[in-house]
Chains A and B, each alone.
Chain A
């Protein structure tokens, strides 16, 4: 049992100090879904959470079943207990103009810059600068204060680029710092890195219990660690509980399940007698499927061990049959809360 007086987890939440949650993961591991579920979980009980999308895929709009998000902070949904989840799909060009306005009061310069091809240059020809703008925007949301000096958002969740690119993405401001030795760009780059490397940021990684995503997670953790970026939790997604008892799994793995008993049961269920072609076919199919399943469960056990060896908090979300809708998202958020991720 965690100590209720433990200062690091005052409300039983593993990341209560964190304001910026960056969610990454190998493609296909449910990164966007986890980011959305985490935002909902964090908003529970009256908090206001910003969910930010940076890859221009409009994945959040699809997930929340809304029209494509404009580059504008938009309320997406409410959480139990009066919380709110807001969404923002960052458009690099708009972010650049905003950046000019914010730091230099130069929004009007935008049209000149566009005519000169400079905006194209920044947002497409030199795409790394895109990452500068995106990370800058995330940090701006975290640091923003309203007129009462309060943060308008209690937390910011970023649906970030995949594991293979995440360190480069978050570290892009270090590159800028290498380029600009002094001046406002340098200052901005340094202050973004300060936030990204602080205890107020956590980079969570999503994975499936499969060899390649787990390996990528292990490599990703090492890379983040080397870049002095704060590794958060590991979220294992789409898990399915074993359908067979441990004993039967072992038998299935070596094709030793009692065939005659199963054939008899298949017959008693009216699916075809043990001697009929149909009955034999069904029994064969069930035994083969059991073997497939046992092989898969064994693999998952190995992969789960490898994840646990990372020594990071691990959360599991079960597979949702039929795809993720808003109702499923609430269930996943509740599951993350139960596991103290939020």
Chain B
């Protein structure tokens, strides 16, 4: 029985063409938490590999079950081969280790002695391992590392990256600007001044307001924290320039036509609202959007039997066949869910009529193995969709 998607009035997102196109080198999946973003990234990666691509999928904080489904006991910062790809392609999977990635940046941007200093600084340790927000930056850092490796040794021709489950997932788009305003600001000079031995001359350097400022910092942060922070910023000062260059390069890489952004949503009000936010944000930055994946779409097996008809029929047979009445009410409930989802999707489409949409029907159970993942992937690329000849 063919599965009926929502009847919506939007262009169809053909992900099969996206992954089949050898010019597609990067796919970025973004969207609110809980919409199946990580699974989408992994499933798309598997199908692309099945079709002969050499794929690396970078996941952020995946459920343990997803790693198991790919036959890996655990996912870590090193890409590991997934067994069971059909055909000539390959699939490597990894999970972002925020701290490890940050450490690698430090190590590659400074000499060993300075790197050691930074790695041992308490402020760095907190920043790199515990603070939220670092994840967004490190995901992009890892992406550019993977891409550099792919360019160097040809190990991968497609990198699929998942993003952190929050609205700030797109914070990395702001990274060049933020780092810029921070680096060009005087704040960093104040922080680094003591370590540079500028001493009392600093007041002249910074002009009016500094006395107050220095007092504020000392008062709030305390002398010891200020020293740690100062020596941290001084140590990474030289590295920050590299950071900014990297951020700019990654930004350009994302804008490249070889990149495709896929926004993932569930047909629910909040998830679609977040999807709108992502679509608009990507559009503002002229990022190449492939389209929207609408996940976990409700389906009914008999679209022509409306909720109202089913309810009337259910009342009619309530006495003679209570079981049939229950089945008809169940059908009515599903028809209503489908109708609700169509209205919500249509509202999104009204605001973004040109965004192509791929629908994935809700599966009764989660993915437990590679075949389950493949099933999701095939739904994504529309392998189940009847072709025009069959219609």
Contacts and interface: CB of A to CB of B under 8 A. Distances in A.
A265 interface: yes
Which of under 10, 10 to 19, 20 to 34, or 35 or more describes the interface residues of A? Answer: 35 or more
Contacts of A57: 167, 274
A215 B65 contact: yes
Interface residues of B, number: 83
A179 B125 CA distance: 9
Interface stretch (A140-148, A167-175, A333-341): A167-175
Contacts of B336: 321
A55 interface: yes
B134 A323 contact: no
Interface string A182-219: 11111000000000000000000000001111011000
B388 interface: no
Interface stretch (B18-26, B44-52, B220-228, B252-260): B220-228
Contact of B324 (A27, A178, A286, A289): A286
A213 B321 CA distance: 37
A318 interface: no
Interface stretch (A83-91, A118-126, A304-312): A118-126
B323 A215 contact: no
Contacts of A321: 336-337, 340
Given A184-B219, A289-B301, A262 B132 contact: no
A44 interface: no
A165 interface: yes
Q: Please classify the interface of chain A as helix (H, G, I), strand (E, B), loop, or mixed, using the class held by over half of its residues.
A: helix
Given A164-B33, A286-B331, A32 B166 contact: no
Q: Please classify the interface of chain B as helix (H, G, I), strand (E, B), loop, or mixed, using the class held by over half of its residues.
A: helix
Nearest to B223: A183
A127 B131 contact: yes
Interface of B: 1, 32-35, 61, 63-65, 122-123, 126-127, 130-134, 165-168, 171, 174, 178-179, 181-182, 184-188, 190, 209, 212-213, 216, 219-225, 228, 266, 268-271, 273-274, 300-302, 305, 309, 312-314, 316-317, 320-321, 323-331, 333-334, 336-337, 340, 344, 364-366
Interface of A: 26-29, 32, 55-57, 59, 62, 100, 103-104, 106, 109, 112-113, 115-118, 120-121, 124-131, 161-162, 164-165, 168-169, 171-172, 175-176, 178-186, 210-213, 215-216, 240, 243-245, 248, 257-258, 261-262, 264-266, 268-271, 281-282, 284-290, 292-293, 295-296, 299, 321-324
